[in-house]
């Protein structure tokens, strides 16, 4: 099973992915978290944040997710996922695949932006920021859309929503 958690920087996808991983780990043990930044680091930061560098990282994340799922390891991926063609590839090539789209307004993202990534991009100080100078095509048909404009300390309710998806329940033997 692969749970592909999509969203812009600051939406809460990594926090939520970590909680989903912990829940699955307590239930079955065989789960791995893939995060776009962690995969970049794993491969020696050999790709940049341009569209082409992001495309190469997306290819890696998809291929690695398919490989791990094929070995019986559940995957929770926290990714920007700006390439609709790779999301389609995932759907066509990864059994037990589910997309979860976490949305938040730009106003919320600016408020949460502790690294000033969005603010710097809007001032023209940096480039290649998804949601500012790189478009973010929203997923066309995710299994779940989560609106996350609220400032929350607890993600348990959102974790429950993901854990209750049919594909997740079936993969974990609860259907």
Cite the active site residues. Answer: 81
CA distance 137 to 131: 9
97-103 β-sheet, strand order? 31-35, 74-79, 2-6, 97-103, 144-147
8 Å CB contact between 101 and 143: no
The three-point CA angle 161-165-166 to 5° equals: 160
Extract the tokens encoding 100. Answer: 């979860």
The three-point CA angle 142-26-158 to 5° equals: 35
CA distance 116 to 125: 11
């Amino acid at each position: 099973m692969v749970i592909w958690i999509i969203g812009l920087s600051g939406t809460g996808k990594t926090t939520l992915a970590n909680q989903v991983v912990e829940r699955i780990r307590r239930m079955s043990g065989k789960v791995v978290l893939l995060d776009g930044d962690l995969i970049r680091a794993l491969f020696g930061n050999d790709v940049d944040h341009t569209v082409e560098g992001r495309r190469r990282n997306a290819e890696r994340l998809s291929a690695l997710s398919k490989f791990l799922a094929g070995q019986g390891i559940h995957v929770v991926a926290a990714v920007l996922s700006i390439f609709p063609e790779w999301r389609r590839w995932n759907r066509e090539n990864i059994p037990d695949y589910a997309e979860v789209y976490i949305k938040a307004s730009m106003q919320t993202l600016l408020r949460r932006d502790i690294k000033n990534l969005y603010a710097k991009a809007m001032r023209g100080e940096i480039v290649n920021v998804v949601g500012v100078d790189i478009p973010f095509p929203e997923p066309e048909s995710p299994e779940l859309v989560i609106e996350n404009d609220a400032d929350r300390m607890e993600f348990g309710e959102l974790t429950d929503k993901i854990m209750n998806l049919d594909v997740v329940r079936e993969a974990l033997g609860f259907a």
